[in-house]
């Protein structure tokens, strides 16, 4: 009953349920009961992604995917934080792309684990920067070293026990997209502007559709 009430309480669902008598149930509850059964843990965009079709993990490249730099080339440590703003030694403000926090919070809210896969050799610097930017806490695994992204995926596969076909991976370098697609990862190319919210939702949808229709074919076109 709670499930039905949760669904019908959402205004955007009324159209879908119009053909069913469920909507009549709502009027049978007092406002108190309605507020009690109102969902607190859902997101409008997750409605079309049943839990069993969600990815096992979402993996992010860092340079030009999460932040607009080759951080080990364009930024100069040591870093400092003042009034919540992270700067490098040349007083350059360190930023991440605008939709990143929304995407990270969305995954966290829906218990989708996240990992980092970067080819930079500056492991310590990248982790420190992530801590200063307060995004380190979102990730369960950090693969940051000079090896192929395919290798990074294999380590994540071993440590998290998640199949390649259950991974979504974002990267700005198409060579990494090609190599990880070959092993079955749903790899998404995000050139120039990093991962955007729409790009993320589209990837979730395509991964979900493929998982539902054909678990062995989850390549994004
Ligand atoms: Mg990159």
How many Cα atoms are found within 13 Å in the side-chain-facing hemisphere of 162?
25
- Determine the pLDDT at residue 77: 94
- Determine the pLDDT at residue 48: 67
3-class SS of residue 110: coil
- Determine the pLDDT at residue 51: 78
Catalytic site residue 63? yes
pLDDT in tens, 27-53: 333 333 333 333 334 455 566 677 778
- Determine the pLDDT at residue 172: 98
Chain centre distance of CA 52:
16
Catalytic site residue 166? no
122 vs 27, residue with greater confidence:
122
pLDDT in tens, 70-117: 999 999 999 999 998 999 999 999 999 999 999 999 999 999 999 999
Average pLDDT of span 189-208 = 92
CATH architecture of 51-213: 3-Layer(aba) Sandwich (3.40)
Q: Indicate the domain borders of the chain.
A: 2-40, 51-213
Per the structure block, which two tokens stand in for 187?
Answer: 């790899």
Strands of the chain, DSSP E: 57-60, 80-82, 85-87, 114-118, 141-144, 167-171, 186-189
- Of 63, 72, 171, 172, which residue is the catalytic one? 63
Average pLDDT of span 136-147 = 98
- Of 12, 45, 61, 76, which residue is the catalytic one? 61
Give the C-alpha separation, 122 to 117, whole Å: 12
Mean pLDDT for the chain overall: 81
What distance in angstroms lies between residue 48's CA and the mean position of ligand 1's atoms?
30
What distance in angstroms lies between residue 210's CA and the mean position of ligand 1's atoms?
26
What distance in angstroms lies between residue 159's CA and the mean position of ligand 1's atoms?
23
63 vs 54, residue with greater confidence:
63
What distance in angstroms lies between residue 120's CA and the mean position of ligand 1's atoms?
9
């Amino acid at each position: 009953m709670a499930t039905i009430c949760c669904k019908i309480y959402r205004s955007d669902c009324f159209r879908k349920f119009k053909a069913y008598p469920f909507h009549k149930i709502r009027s049978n509850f007092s406002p108190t009961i309605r507020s009690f059964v109102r969902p607190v843990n859902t997101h409008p965009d997750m409605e079309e992604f049943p839990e069993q079709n969600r990815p096992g993990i979402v993996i992010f490249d860092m340079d030009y995917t999460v932040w607009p730099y080759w951080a080990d080339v364009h930024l100069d440590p040591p870093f400092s934080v003042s009034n919540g703003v992270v700067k490098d030694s040349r007083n350059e403000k360190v930023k991440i792309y605008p939709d990143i926090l929304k995407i990270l919070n969305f995954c966290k809210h829906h218990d989708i684990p996240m990992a980092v896969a970067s080819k930079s050799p500056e492991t310590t610097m990248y982790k420190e920067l992530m801590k200063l930017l307060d995004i380190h806490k979102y990730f369960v695994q950090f693969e940051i070293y000079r090896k192929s992204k395919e290798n990074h995926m294999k380590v994540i596969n071993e440590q998290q026990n998640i199949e390649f076909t259950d991974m979504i991976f974002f990267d700005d370098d198409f060579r990494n997209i090609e190599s990880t697609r070959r092993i079955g990862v749903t790899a998404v190319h995000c050139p120039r502007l990093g991962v955007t919210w729409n790009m993320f939702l589209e990837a979730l949808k395509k991964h979900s559709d493929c998982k539902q229709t054909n678990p062995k074919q989850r390549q994004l076109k």
